[in-house]
Amino acid sequence: MGFILISLIILIGITSYFLGNLRAKNLRTSNQKNLKSLSHYYGYYVALWALVPALLILLMITSFKSFFIEQYVLSDFIALGSYTETELSLLFTQIENTALGIKLFDENTILIDGAVNKLNYINKTIENLTYVTVLGLSGLLVLYSLFNINNKLNSRKIVEKFLLVLYFTCSLVAIMTTVGIIFSLLYETLRFFSQVPIADFLFGLNWSPQRVFVREAGDLDTRDLANAFGAVPLFAGTFLIALIAMCVSVPVGLLTAIYMSEYASPKVRDWAKPIIEILAGIPTVVYGFFAALTVAPLVRDIGQGAGLTVSSESALAAGFVMGIMIIPFISSLSDDVIKSVPQSLREGSYAMGATKRETIVKVLLPAALPGIVGSFLLAVSRAIGETMIVVMAAGLNAKLTANPLDAATTITTQIVVILIGDQEFDSPKTQSAFALGLTLFVVTLALNFIALQVVKKYTERYD
Amino acid sequence: MTDRIEQRINSLNKRLNSEKRFRIYCIGAMSFALAWVLILFLNIFSSGYSAFYRTVIQVDVPFLNLIEDTTQFSEMSSEDINNLSMYSFSKKAIYGLFPDIEEKKDKKMLIRLFSIEFEQEIREFLKSNKSNINETETIYLTASDDVDQVNKGNYPRDLDEDKRRIKDIQLLFFDDLVDRGLVSYEFNLPFLMRGDSREPELAGVGGSIVGSLFTILVVLILSFPIGIFAAIYLEEFASKNRVTDFIEININNLAAVPSIVFGLLGLGIILNTFGLPRSTPLVGGIVLSLMTLPTIIIATRASLRAVPPSIREGALAVGATKMQAVMHHVVPVAMPGALTGTIIGLAQALGETAPLLLIGMVAFVVDVPQTPLDASASLPVQVYLWSESAERGYVEKTSATIMMLLGFLILMNLAAVLIRRKFETKW
């Protein structure tokens, strides 16, 4: 029904634009009235009256509809008073299924049949009501605004004001997203910390939320909770894998950047730079597949050849592939920074008889250092927040280890492991994922903030 | 004196040598990065191309055994054919390949050379050719995943029998069928059309391609207008004050937030507070739109900034209002840049996986979704799902899915480059 209704509203909107336009033109010719705006602005004016209130009403109806329907259909059951809220929502799903012809249960048949009838009735009524209200409102407002067109009305100003408000609202979406992220993370995290002390989460050495899940049937022992949600192994694993990634990407990325900016001929630059940037455009799930299927077995075979015990989900494989993914971030950022070092510094150094290498290592790099460090920090934040590679190639069990050949798990992996598939929303296990998410959010934000400050300070120095 | 000169020459040589070494390190680093691009692509392509064809086995089906007169099929409706009991008939048709086999166990092994849907395939053949069925028809039936992999040479034959999924007797049957010329390849159209399946030989990417398309469509519808409007406001109308500063900081921060955090937002707010349906492209699209917005806004602002002030001032000078100057003159000039940014943002959204895992787009969906409100997977999620499966047949399917994903991404980026080349004005 939504599709038909929306098409109808849009149709009304288009027609009303032409009506408004026509009426303005008629007024101009017949009455010699001096309208304040161009005719088509009156068209827009009428179309806005036709569309905006109707769409807002429709939005309101669709968002409150399901709540209202549920209350109405379940009123008999609520009156009984013997159902909890979860049971009621389960019941509602069952009633919906029964209405669709899927019969799953046979208790309370009379009440259920009544509820199914009620559901069908209310659905039909609300649909009809929606049509009448929305289309009626739209039509009335078109008429109202058509008759409102006169020589005192400056429709251009109204239309422009509306556009400005619309643009401003759109730019608020960024703020609303941030607020939404902070709100959703903070809300669940606070509920989590009301059950698990924050110190246990930040400094505990044992991470095994699965255990809590199993025991959920019985009463939760607070000691159990404290022992299950120690996030230090995750922090350590994240740090280990990010460190391995940086060990790969920092030298490669930096040397590539130096080659690109100082040695390469424009021709080489023109084809090598885009190719390396392909690495940044490949979806991370592809890296994950590559790490799990090709690199991890390779690392294991090489390790075993050397007589080492290597886990098949070693941190080394995940970190290495992540490092390759990050190379273009470091190389292109550092490239920009090195290139923006003033030419006079290079020339001064050459004039003193320094070789190219000496110029780069002793003059350019120190001068560009803040920017380069900034790019490293951005890369670290990228590595910490990266999900798919570690989900597919790193371990799932939390173990406190510093051995790169061992399996390690990360914050992002655990969020996915906990939240994938169906989850119960009130358990501390689910909430712990949001606490991890908040930690991740804060850390990456702080890293980015510091990185941007460092880069900013540097660019100011030479401007 | 000579000592000194020698010393100088030595030190100069040292410096020049270290210069050479340094240069080699740099070239080495770059080649390392380039080599991994190559390795990655070769690895994916070499393991993925074989998913685009499939093994079929030619079987003679004696329809005369099902019905006395095969012309009668033409009078049957599809429903009648669905009601025909064909299981044992189909099995017998397959036994016809090796009439000498007596033992039940061997017969079972023979049946297992084919996909479990062999009966369905014969039925479909019957339905689409019902007016024109001869007494015996030759039908190409899909081979099972094990046979398919052995035929393509992806599966080692020389393992011990108990370590192998395909048994010795099956290999005997298979080799005999190859000798008789009954085994052949055909283009794997079902792989492109079908939804997911628990059987690798029947699994396809059709469902996830459609899911991805719906998701991208939602992203386009939401983030393109919102992004462009926001950019216009911030670049053209906003006065410099606390609110706009705050918005700017927010946009830059959002661009750096890890994608999985957006998944948590989708789970916490869009699914649990607003109650939108789980696992659907609609919710996936909303979450990815929020992620894509910063990219679009930043790109559009950059291209608005590149429009020279003379255009604005010219419009204002002949009496246009600020809004008219912006909408009629500045925005059209900036549009190619905005479009390029949007396409790049969409390409990012297309490859994104992590947030979709959290909002339940990892469901196992057999049907190809019809609307953005049906549960579905998307291409990258399909890669994740199949890479977790143990069967050998899913490896080539995963690689092939990646090939298609990369193909779409390359097309989108190419489009972005072309738009920029063709329409962008240099001032």
Residue A407, classed as helix, strand or coil, is strand
Q: Is the pLDDT of residue B1 over 70?
A: no
Please provide residue B424's backbone torsions phi and psi, each rounded to the nearest 5 degrees. -75, 135
Q: Is the pLDDT of residue B127 over 80?
A: yes
Ordered structural domains, chain B, with CATH:
53-187 (no CATH), 206-423 (1.10.3720.10)
DSSP 8-class letter at A207? B
Cα–Cα distance measured from residue A262 to residue A343, given in angstroms and rounded to the nearest whole number: 11
Q: Is the pLDDT of residue B280 over 80?
A: yes
Print the SS3 string covering B13-63: HHHHHHHHHHHHHHHHHHHHHHHHHHHHHHHHHHHHHHHHEEEEEEEEEEH
Residue B185, classed as helix, strand or coil, is strand
Cα–Cα distance measured from residue B1 to residue B13, given in angstroms and rounded to the nearest whole number: 19
Closest alpha carbon within chain A to B19? A357
Residues A104, A158 contacting (CB under 8 angstroms): no
CB-based burial of residue B111 (10 Å sphere; 0-12 exposed, 13-18 middle, 19+ buried)? middle
Beta bridge partners of B187: B53
Contact A183 B269 (CB under 8 A): yes
pLDDT per residue as tens digits for the range A9-27: 999 999 999 999 888 888 8
Residue B184, classed as helix, strand or coil, is strand
B250: nearest CB among A174, A387, A420: A174
DSSP 8-class letter at A229? B
Cα–Cα distance measured from residue B317 to residue B310, given in angstroms and rounded to the nearest whole number: 10
pLDDT at A65: 82
pLDDT at B239: 86
Structure tokens, B127: 């339905």
pLDDT at A103: 62
pLDDT at B32: 94
Closest alpha carbon within chain A to B268? A184
Phi-psi region of B332 (alpha: psi -120 to 50; beta: other; left: phi over 0): alpha
* Confidence class for position B311, pLDDT limits 50, 70, 90: very high
Residues A249, A276 contacting (CB under 8 angstroms): no
Cα–Cα distance measured from residue A119 to residue A111, given in angstroms and rounded to the nearest whole number: 12
pLDDT at A371: 87
Chain B residues whose beta carbon lies within 8 Å of the beta carbon of residue A357? 18-19, 22-23
A440 against B123, higher pLDDT: A440
Alpha-carbon distances, residue A295 vs A6, A170, A204, A394, A398 (angstroms): 51, 44, 32, 12, 22
Amino acid (one-letter) located at A266 = P
Residues B260, A415 contacting (CB under 8 angstroms): yes
What percent of chain B is predicted at pLDDT more than 90?
Answer: 45
Cα–Cα distance measured from residue A429 to residue A372, given in angstroms and rounded to the nearest whole number: 40
Q: In what order do the strands lie in the sheet with B183-187?
A: B136-142, B53-62, B183-187
pLDDT per residue as tens digits for the range A152-166: 888 899 999 999 999
pLDDT per residue as tens digits for the range B159-175: 777 777 788 888 888 88
Q: How many CB atoms lie within 10 A of CB A278?
A: 17
Beta bridge partners of B62: B136
Contact B229 A171 (CB under 8 A): yes
* Confidence class for position B305, pLDDT limits 50, 70, 90: very high
Closest alpha carbon within chain B to A434? B264
pLDDT at B151: 87
A238 against A205, higher pLDDT: A238
A285: nearest CB among B267, B272, B383: B383
Q: Is the pLDDT of residue A217 over 50?
A: no
Alpha-carbon distances, residue B269 vs A89, A179, A226 (angstroms): 19, 11, 28
Average pLDDT of B85-90?
A: 83
Residue A74 makes CB contacts below 8 A (sequence gap 6+) with A88, A91, A92, A95, A115
* HSE value, Cβ hemisphere, 13 Å, CA-based, for A424: 11
Cα–Cα distance measured from residue B166 to residue B68, given in angstroms and rounded to the nearest whole number: 38
Structure tokens, A127: 């649909």
Q: Distance from A338 to chain B by nearest Cα, in Å?
A: 14
* Confidence class for position B86, pLDDT limits 50, 70, 90: confident
Chain A residues whose beta carbon lies within 8 Å of the beta carbon of residue B246? 175
Q: How far is CA A405 from the centre of its chain?
A: 32
Q: Is the pLDDT of residue B289 over 90?
A: yes
Amino acid (one-letter) located at A356 = K
- Which is nearest to A50 in space by CA: A20, A16, A1? A16
pLDDT per residue as tens digits for the range A44-56: 999 999 999 999 9
pLDDT at B2: 80
Chain B residues whose beta carbon lies within 8 Å of the beta carbon of residue A384? 258
CATH among 1.10.530.10, 3.40.50.1820, 3.40.50.1000, 1.10.3720.10 for A226-462: 1.10.3720.10
pLDDT at B217: 95
**Ranked by mean pLDDT, which of A234-248, A445-459, B266-280, B381-395 comes out on top?**
A234-248
Print the SS3 string covering A338-406: HHCCCHHHHHHHHHCCCCHHHHHHHHHHHHHHHHHHHHHHHHHHHHHHCCHHHHHHCCCCCCCCCCCCC
Cα–Cα distance measured from residue A162 to residue B177, given in angstroms and rounded to the nearest whole number: 74
Q: Is the pLDDT of residue A424 over 80?
A: no
* HSE value, Cβ hemisphere, 13 Å, CA-based, for A313: 18
Contact A167 B409 (CB under 8 A): no
Cα–Cα distance measured from residue B179 to residue A224, given in angstroms and rounded to the nearest whole number: 65
Contact A412 B258 (CB under 8 A): yes
DSSP 8-class letter at B276? P
pLDDT per residue as tens digits for the range B336-394: 999 999 999 999 999 999 999 998 888 788 888 888 888 888 999 999 999 888 777 88
Beta bridge partners of A207: A229
pLDDT at B388: 85
Contact B230 A167 (CB under 8 A): yes
Cα–Cα distance measured from residue B350 to residue B215, given in angstroms and rounded to the nearest whole number: 8
Q: How far is CA A390 from the centre of its chain?
A: 18
Interface of A with B in 243-272 (CB under 8 A): 251-256, 258-260, 263, 272
pLDDT per residue as tens digits for the range A46-104: 999 999 999 999 988 887 887 888 888 877 777 777 777 777 777 777 777 777 766 65
CB-based burial of residue B334 (10 Å sphere; 0-12 exposed, 13-18 middle, 19+ buried)? buried
Structure tokens, B82: 């669905």
State the virtual CA torsion across A189, A193, A199, A204 in degrees, nearest 10: -80
Q: Is the pLDDT of residue A453 over 80?
A: yes
- Lowest average pLDDT, out of A64-73, A138-147, A197-206, B252-261, goes to A64-73
Structure tokens, A73: 């259909």
pTM as predicted = 0.89
How many residues in chain A?
463
Average pLDDT of A379-393?
A: 92
> Where would I find the H helices in A259-295?
266-281, 284-290
- Give the pairing type, strands B136-142 and B53-62: antiparallel
B230: nearest CB among A174, A258, A327: A174
* Confidence class for position A1, pLDDT limits 50, 70, 90: low
Residues B356, B385 contacting (CB under 8 angstroms): no
Residue B183 makes CB contacts below 8 A (sequence gap 6+) with B55, B56, B57, B58, B143, B151, B174, B177
pLDDT at B297: 94
Cα–Cα distance measured from residue A138 to residue A150, given in angstroms and rounded to the nearest whole number: 21
Residue with the two structure tokens 């399901």: A66
Please provide residue B334's backbone torsions phi and psi, each rounded to the nearest 5 degrees. -85, -5
* Confidence class for position B87, pLDDT limits 50, 70, 90: confident
Please provide residue A341's backbone torsions phi and psi, each rounded to the nearest 5 degrees. -70, 130
Domain assignments of chain A as residue spans, ordered by start: 2-153, 226-462
Cα–Cα distance measured from residue B181 to residue B176, given in angstroms and rounded to the nearest whole number: 9
Q: Which helix (H) or strand (E) holds A118?
A: helix A109-148
DSSP 8-class letter at A155? H
Average pLDDT of A324-347?
A: 91
Residues A366, A383 contacting (CB under 8 angstroms): no
Cα–Cα distance measured from residue B85 to residue B106, given in angstroms and rounded to the nearest whole number: 24
Amino acid (one-letter) located at A154 = N
pLDDT at A447: 92
Chain B residues whose beta carbon lies within 8 Å of the beta carbon of residue A289? 383, 387, 398-399, 402
Q: Which helix (H) or strand (E) holds B140?
A: strand B136-142
* Confidence class for position A215, pLDDT limits 50, 70, 90: very low
Residue B426, classed as helix, strand or coil, is coil
pLDDT at B218: 95
pLDDT per residue as tens digits for the range A102-113: 665 555 566 777
Q: How far is CA B198 from the centre of its chain?
A: 18
Report chain A's C-alpha Rg in angstroms: 32
Residues B152, B210 contacting (CB under 8 angstroms): no
Cα–Cα distance measured from residue B133 to residue B126, given in angstroms and rounded to the nearest whole number: 8
